[in-house]
């Protein structure tokens, strides 16, 4: 006789009740009743924010991923991309096995090979290049934390040429501008205390569409708490819809607006005089400098009425120091971007919000030792991305500098590229130049999860495991509260994909550099670092995150401000800039007008996509399968276009885009058009995303280089519309 335990009896009872209550929907999930759910902490990699998450695995299959409540970054709530992250693992278009090219570059014809063959092939060519041209002739482009171990292999190989598009193509101008002013950059996650700001000024920054989790959460909290939002943007962004003041600024004239704001603050003596007196350098010259930039002067440039400029400046002053003029993230717009970032930095300085609640805080970090590796060989030749310090204030390597050197062979030739997790054809401006550089290469290796456009040109493609299938280096985060976080595999890779650390280690072994990887597996490496930091490995594995001690991050908490500039102060007047032959204080240059009848091409982010790498993720592509061309509704009517009509864009250099659907809207100025970046894929391997929407990158054939730091400004392209019939 079988006895029914009380427990199983209760189970049956509950199941019956549930069934009676009409909860068959649960069964209809197709899940056998007693499903086993395992919850594994890790951190996200759909963007670079690195939110901590907990993935649920139901009966061996990925079910969902949620924010880790212990995480100071995401506070238990991932952004839509993070939530849709499991779609990356299940993407049927993923790269599955190592590939070696069989036809011309770009034809996307491959043969599948073993890892051993692929890595031997790469190592052999790298060694040949090193013999003929020196190891420095191998360049590495890498984006994100996953590149850590490859960079290590690179340095061990003897090449200093490592760059990421996140500098010259993204936040570089901002960090340079702030470093020149405060002696420190903004970093990532941005050191902005949006949550406590009483007045938030966004210049082109589209929080909410730009889904940097913590920032959006804090922005929402601030709006909820009644903060005043001021948005200057040629497009009525989502953030603009939360704003008290929306300033429909003419594209390219933000500097004029900034100067006029500073003029109002200084001439009306609304600025934080105490802060400026204590910490300002060259304020008198600066006050004299901004005296001429009246709101009346700015009006014809920006299109913003003088009264509005005055009113918004006074509004900022009213809430100081809890007024935050957001420094933005991708700010390579018009070529004077580092100077504009400096203007933003100075406007913030006038509001005295450095190291203040509601302004900029000083992030805290935990001390975690690095793994003791042997010393790297000293490269025979220095980095070549910025020869002779052509861009004297570039704080990081310039991708486009490496590209240029690859084309010209100067100052020395670059013969091989390894590209990790960045789709250079979409992230660098002017893809023709990138292709020309590729033509000059003896070896192009691409490591990625999906067959990106750049992978289509690779000699060897290495398929990487997704972040849900691998370990990575620790995330030692600089934030309001410091923490150490662990990425660990949640599921196995479905095919023959490998984690980057394994690839880096095996390649090093094939290059004869095995001594640089003294650890046997990644856990040994990670455990060493965790133990060295005095933390418990098991706790970290179980919780995914270990918080560090709270430290003062504002003046309000007792933090003393230091400004590591040459003057030791906030540099309203920059002697370094002057010495290098640049304007010591920001000045305004009117933007180049486009050809008559054309629209300035602007682009930005969508909350459900990251760069060009999430469009084959079925969960995310389902949320937004293609991009649309934002076109002023009145203009659209004149062209006889309505929402949904397809057009192609032709740019000033006669490049014609894919067809893209028009979004005729009252949310954009009539002199520009806007689209979300990253769509319009041309890689045949991306079967799902292929040909959906248009690619802004394709139309960005021109760029202006920032003379201070080498950033490539791309909002200088113009398009005309060609209706698709």
Partner 1 sequence: MSRYAMVIDTRLCVGCMDCVVACKTENRVPEGYNRDWITEELRGVYPDVRLEIRSERCNHCDRPPCVSCCPTGASHVHRGGVVLVTHDQCIGCKACIAACPYDARFVHPDGYVDKCTFCIHRVEKGLKPACVSVCPTHCMHFGDLDDPQSDVSKLLASRPHHALIPESGARPHVFYLT
Partner 2 sequence: MLELTTTRHNPEIDPGMHIWGWEIPVYLFLGGLVAGLMIISGVRLLLMRPTERHPMICCTVGPLLGLALLSLGMLALFLDLSHKMFVWRLYTTFQITSPMSWGSWILLLVYPALGANALAHLPEAIPALAKRFPVLVTISDFILGRPRLVLGIGLANMLVGIGLGIYTGILLGALTARPLWGSSLLGPLFLFSGLSTAAALLHGILLVALPKGERPAFADFLLGTLAKWSQGRAPDPSAGPVLAKADNSFLTIELGIIGLFLIGHLGSTETHRRAVDLLLHGPYAAVFWVGVIGIGIVTPLTLQFLEMRNRIRHTLVPSVFVLIGGLTLRFILVYAGQDSHWIQASLP
User: What residues make contact with partner 2 under the rule CB under 8 A?
Assistant: 623-624, 633, 643, 663, 665-667
Comparison of 12 and 23: residue with beta carbon closer to partner 2: 23
Comparison of 179 and 626: residue with beta carbon closer to partner 2: 626
Taking the C-alpha atoms of residue 291 and residue 532, their distance in angstroms, rounded to an integer, is 55
Q: Is the peptide bond before 440 cis (omega within 30 degrees of 0)?
A: no
Near partner 1 by CB under 8 A: residue from 150, 624, 641, 686: 624
In the complex, the smallest distance separating the C-beta of residue 45 from partner 2, rounded to whole angstroms, is 25
Comparison of 21 and 131: residue with beta carbon closer to partner 1: 21
Near partner 1 by CB under 8 A: residue from 50, 52, 67, 522: 67
For partner 1, the binding residues in 227-246 under the rule CB under 8 A are 236, 238-242, 246
Which of partner 1, partner 2, none does 216 bind, CB closer than 5 to 8 A by kind? partner 1
In the complex, the smallest distance separating the C-beta of residue 65 from partner 2, rounded to whole angstroms, is 21
Which of partner 1, partner 2, none does 602 bind, CB closer than 5 to 8 A by kind? none
In the complex, the smallest distance separating the C-beta of residue 663 from partner 2, rounded to whole angstroms, is 8
User: Tokens 């937004």 — which residue?
Assistant: 624
Number of CB atoms found within 10 A of residue 11's CB: 14
Taking the C-alpha atoms of residue 403 and residue 359, their distance in angstroms, rounded to an integer, is 38
Near partner 1 by CB under 8 A: residue from 6, 7, 103, 224: 224
Rounded to 5 degrees, φ, ψ at 626 are -150, 165
In the complex, the smallest distance separating the C-beta of residue 247 from partner 1, rounded to whole angstroms, is 8
CA-closest candidate to residue 297, choices 260, 323, 334, 261: 260
Near partner 1 by CB under 8 A: residue from 186, 486, 633, 647: 633
Which of partner 2, partner 1, none does 78 bind, CB closer than 5 to 8 A by kind? partner 1
Of 75-83, 293-301, 347-355, 430-438, the window that binds partner 1 (rule: CB under 8 A) is 75-83
Residues 6 or more apart in contact with residue 640 via CB below 8 angstroms: 723
Comparison of 222 and 709: residue with beta carbon closer to partner 1: 222
For partner 1, the binding residues in 76-105 under the rule CB under 8 A are 76-80, 83-84, 86
Per-residue CA distances from 39 to 301, 466, 527, 536, 543 (Å): 56, 18, 21, 20, 10
CA 181-185-187 angle, 5° bins? 160
Taking the C-alpha atoms of residue 365 and residue 475, their distance in angstroms, rounded to an integer, is 11
Of 74-82, 175-183, 312-320, 406-414, the window that binds partner 1 (rule: CB under 8 A) is 74-82
Comparison of 66 and 523: residue with beta carbon closer to partner 1: 66
Ramachandran quadrant class, 630 (left: phi over 0; alpha: psi -120 to 50; beta: rest): beta
For partner 1, the binding residues in 439-498 under the rule CB under 8 A are none
Comparison of 624 and 694: residue with beta carbon closer to partner 2: 624
Rounded to 5 degrees, φ, ψ at 190 are -55, 140
Comparison of 240 and 641: residue with beta carbon closer to partner 1: 240
Taking the C-alpha atoms of residue 641 and residue 643, their distance in angstroms, rounded to an integer, is 7
Rule CB under 8 A: say whether 608 interacts with partner 1. Answer: yes
SS3 assignment for 325-391 = ECCCCCCCCCCCHHHHHHHHHHHHHHCCCECCCCCECCCECCCCCCCCCCCCCCCCCCCCCCHHHCC
In the complex, the smallest distance separating the C-beta of residue 207 from partner 2, rounded to whole angstroms, is 19
Which of partner 1, partner 2, none does 211 bind, CB closer than 5 to 8 A by kind? partner 1
Tell me the two tokens of residue 10. Answer: 């209760």
Q: In whole angstroms, how large is the CA radius of gyration of the chain?
A: 26
Comparison of 47 and 713: residue with beta carbon closer to partner 1: 47
Rule CB under 8 A: say whether 693 interacts with partner 1. Answer: no
Which of partner 1, partner 2, none does 284 bind, CB closer than 5 to 8 A by kind? none
Near partner 1 by CB under 8 A: residue from 315, 667, 720, 722: 667
Which of partner 1, partner 2, none does 246 bind, CB closer than 5 to 8 A by kind? partner 1
Rule CB under 8 A: say whether 201 interacts with partner 1. Answer: no
In the complex, the smallest distance separating the C-beta of residue 23 from partner 1, rounded to whole angstroms, is 7
Which of partner 2, partner 1, none does 619 bind, CB closer than 5 to 8 A by kind? partner 1
Residues 6 or more apart in contact with residue 14 via CB below 8 angstroms: none
In the complex, the smallest distance separating the C-beta of residue 608 from partner 1, rounded to whole angstroms, is 5
The DSSP result for 614-662, as a single string, is STT-HHHHHH--S-EEEEEHHHHHHTT--TT-EEEEEETT--BPPPEEE
Taking the C-alpha atoms of residue 194 and residue 199, their distance in angstroms, rounded to an integer, is 9
Rule CB under 8 A: say whether 131 interacts with partner 1. Answer: no
Residue 314 near residue 244 (C-beta atoms within 8 A) = no
Which of partner 1, partner 2, none does 213 bind, CB closer than 5 to 8 A by kind? partner 1
Taking the C-alpha atoms of residue 677 and residue 604, their distance in angstroms, rounded to an integer, is 6
Which of partner 1, partner 2, none does 685 bind, CB closer than 5 to 8 A by kind? none
Comparison of 97 and 667: residue with beta carbon closer to partner 1: 667
Three-class secondary structure of residue 492 per DSSP: coil
Rule CB under 8 A: say whether 666 interacts with partner 1. Answer: yes
Which of partner 2, partner 1, none does 23 bind, CB closer than 5 to 8 A by kind? partner 1
For partner 1, the binding residues in 19-48 under the rule CB under 8 A are 21-30
Comparison of 538 and 622: residue with beta carbon closer to partner 2: 622
Tell me the two tokens of residue 534. Answer: 């005095």
Taking the C-alpha atoms of residue 360 and residue 321, their distance in angstroms, rounded to an integer, is 10
In the complex, the smallest distance separating the C-beta of residue 617 from partner 2, rounded to whole angstroms, is 16
Per-residue CA distances from 443 to 120, 121, 360, 382, 447 (Å): 13, 10, 44, 21, 13
In the complex, the smallest distance separating the C-beta of residue 519 from partner 1, rounded to whole angstroms, is 35
In the complex, the smallest distance separating the C-beta of residue 83 from partner 1, rounded to whole angstroms, is 4
Comparison of 80 and 282: residue with beta carbon closer to partner 1: 80
Rule CB under 8 A: say whether 607 interacts with partner 1. Answer: yes
Which of partner 1, partner 2, none does 524 bind, CB closer than 5 to 8 A by kind? none
CA 561-214-465 angle, 5° bins? 115
The DSSP result for 215-271, as a single string, is HHHHHHHHHHTT-EEEEE-SB--TGGGG-SEEE-PPTT-HHHHHHHHHHHHHHTT-S
CA-closest candidate to residue 460, choices 436, 444, 442, 448: 444
CA atoms within 13 A on the CB side of 567: 19
In the complex, the smallest distance separating the C-beta of residue 214 from partner 1, rounded to whole angstroms, is 9
Comparison of 24 and 495: residue with beta carbon closer to partner 1: 24
Tell me the two tokens of residue 89. Answer: 């693992």
Number of CB atoms found within 10 A of residue 103's CB: 9
In the complex, the smallest distance separating the C-beta of residue 665 from partner 2, rounded to whole angstroms, is 6
Rule CB under 8 A: say whether 117 interacts with partner 1. Answer: no
CA-closest candidate to residue 50, choices 578, 476, 563: 476
In the complex, the smallest distance separating the C-beta of residue 20 from partner 1, rounded to whole angstroms, is 10
Which of partner 2, partner 1, none does 24 bind, CB closer than 5 to 8 A by kind? partner 1
Near partner 1 by CB under 8 A: residue from 39, 97, 221, 702: 221
In the complex, the smallest distance separating the C-beta of residue 329 from partner 2, rounded to whole angstroms, is 25
Q: Interface residues with partner 1 (CB under 8 A)?
A: 21-30, 63-67, 74, 76-80, 83-84, 86, 207-209, 211, 213, 216-217, 219-221, 223-224, 236, 238-242, 246, 248, 607-608, 618-620, 622-624, 632-634, 665-670
């Amino acid at each position: 006789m079988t006895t029914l335990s009380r427990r199983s009896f209760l189970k049956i009872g509950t199941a019956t009740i549930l069934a009676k209550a009409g909860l068959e929907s649960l069964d209809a999930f197709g899940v056998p009743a007693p499903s086993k759910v395992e919850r594994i902490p890790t951190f996200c990699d759909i963007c670079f924010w690195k939110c901590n998450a907990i993935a649920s695995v139901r009966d061996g299959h990925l079910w969902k991923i949620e924010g880790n409540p212990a995480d100071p970054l995401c506070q238990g709530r991932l952004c839509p991309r993070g939530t849709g992250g499991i779609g990356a693992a299940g993407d049927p278009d993923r790269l599955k096995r190592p590939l070696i090219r069989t036809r011309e570059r770009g034809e996307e014809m491959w043969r599948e090979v073993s890892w051993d063959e692929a890595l031997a092939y790469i190592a052999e060519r790298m060694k040949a290049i090193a013999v003929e041209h020196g190891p420095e002739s191998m360049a590495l482009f890498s984006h994100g934390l996953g590149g850590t171990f490859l960079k290590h292999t690179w340095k061990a190989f003897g090449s200093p040429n490592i760059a990421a598009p996140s500098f010259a193509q993204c936040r570089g101008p901002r960090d340079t501008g702030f470093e020149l002013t405060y002696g420190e950059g903004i970093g990532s996650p941005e050191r902005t205390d949006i949550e406590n700001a009483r007045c938030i000024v966004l210049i082109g920054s589209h929080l909410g569409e730009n889904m940097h989790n913590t920032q959006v959460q804090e922005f929402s909290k601030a709006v909820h708490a009644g903060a005043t939002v001021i948005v200057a943007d040629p497009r009525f962004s989502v953030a603009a819809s939360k704003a008290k003041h929306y300033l429909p600024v003419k594209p390219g004239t933000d500097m004029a607006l900034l100067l006029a704001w500073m003029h109002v603050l200084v001439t009306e003596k609304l600025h934080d005089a105490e802060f400026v007196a204590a910490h300002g350098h060259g304020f008198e010259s600066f006050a004299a400098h901004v005296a001429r930039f009246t709101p009346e002067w700015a009006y014809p440039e920006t299109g913003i009425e003088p009264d509005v400029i005055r009113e918004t400046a006074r509004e900022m002053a009213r809430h100081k120091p809890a007024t935050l003029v957001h420094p933005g993230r991708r700010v390579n717009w018009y070529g004077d971007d580092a100077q504009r970032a400096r203007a933003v930095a100075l406007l913030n300085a006038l509001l005295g919000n450095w190291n203040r609640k509601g302004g900029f805080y000083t992030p805290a970090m935990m001390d975690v030792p690095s793994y003791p590796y042997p010393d790297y060989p000293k490269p025979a030749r220095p980095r070549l991305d910025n020869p002779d310090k052509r861009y004297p204030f570039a704080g990081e390597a310039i991708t486009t500098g490496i590209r240029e050197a690859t084309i010209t062979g100067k100052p020395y030739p670059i013969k091989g590229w390894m590209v990790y997790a960045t789709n250079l054809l979409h992230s660098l401006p002017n893809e023709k130049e990138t292709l020309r550089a590729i033509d000059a290469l003896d070896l192009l290796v691409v490591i990625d999860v999906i067959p990106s456009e750049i992978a289509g040109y690779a000699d060897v493609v290495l398929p990487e495991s997704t972040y849900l299938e691998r370990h990575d280096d620790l995330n030692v985060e600089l934030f309001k509260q410091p923490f150490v976080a662990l990425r660990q595999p949640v599921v196995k890779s479905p095919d023959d994909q490998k984690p980057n650390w394994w690839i880096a280690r095996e390649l090093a072994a094939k290059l004869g550099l095995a001594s640089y990887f003294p650890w046997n597996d990644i856990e040994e490496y990670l455990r060493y670092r965790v133990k060295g930091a005095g933390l418990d490995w098991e706790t970290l594995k179980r919780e995914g995150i270990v918080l560090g001690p709270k430290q003062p991050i504002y003046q309000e908490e007792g933090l003393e401000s230091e400004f590591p500039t040459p003057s030791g102060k906030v540099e309203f007047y920059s002697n370094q800039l002057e010495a290098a032959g640049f304007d010591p204080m920001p000045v305004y240059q009117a933007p180049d007008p486009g050809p008559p009848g054309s629209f300035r091409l602007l682009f930005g982010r969508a909350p459900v996509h990251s760069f060009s790498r999430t469009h084959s993720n079925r969960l995310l592509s389902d949320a937004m399968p293609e991009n649309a061309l934002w076109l002023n509704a009145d203009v659209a009517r004149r062209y006889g276009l309505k929402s949904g009509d397809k057009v192609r864009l032709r740019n000033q250099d006669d490049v014609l885009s894919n067809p893209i659907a028009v979004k005729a809207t009252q949310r954009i100025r009539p002199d520009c058009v806007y689209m979300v970046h990253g769509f319009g894929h041309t890689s045949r391997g991306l079967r799902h995303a292929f040909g959906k929407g248009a690619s802004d990158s394709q139309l960005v054939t021109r760029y202006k280089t920032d003379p201070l730091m080498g950033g490539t400004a791309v909002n200088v392209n113009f398009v005309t519309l060609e209706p698709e019939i």
